[in-house]
Amino acid sequence: MENLNKHLFIGTSKEKFYYHNTLLCLVQSLQEQNITVDLRNDAYVCGTVVSVDGFMNISFSHAVYCDTHGNEFSFENLFVQSRNIRYVHVPENISILGNIKEAVKKDIKKKSSETPTEKKSRKAKKALQQHMQIVASLENTK
């Protein structure tokens, strides 16, 4: 049960908007994976993803920061702000489309269990509907 809950998203309305309208769900599905993140200053960080928040700030454990001069610095814990991220390398053994579908399915299950008093804005409903149509079209192309 704990494994299911690690991908369910809880956050502010702005964070939820980013989760449903960007590939944030993919980056969050990389928790407990070793990844490389290229930074805007041409440096990069390699390490195990501990957590990813709703703004795509990433916390690493056992991280190595490599600067533009090739110097490597090891950190037990390292936090990277989203505004400094240029590119997130998804490991080859990860199914990108599979992880996105899994995140969407978990979100649908979560929404079906919400109480009827919780209402979503038209904009959020429309964005989710568009997202679901895109995922469905990707599934049909296989």
What residue ranges do the domains of the chain occupy? 2-140
> In one letter, which amino acid is 128?
L
- Cross-strand pairs, 72: 66
* Better-predicted residue by pLDDT, 1 or 54: 54
Query: Residue range 53-66: average pLDDT?
Result: 94
Query: Residue range 113-134: average pLDDT?
Result: 74
Sheet holding 58-66, edge to edge: 72-80, 58-66, 44-52, 34-39, 85-89
pLDDT (tens digit, 9 = 90+) per residue, 47-59?
999 999 988 999 9
Q: List the helix and strand counts (H, then E) for the chain.
A: 5, 5
Query: Residue range 7-36: average pLDDT?
Result: 81
- Cross-strand pairs, 44: 38, 66
CATH number for 2-140: choose from 3.40.50.970, 2.30.30.100, 1.10.1740.10, 2.20.25.10.
2.30.30.100
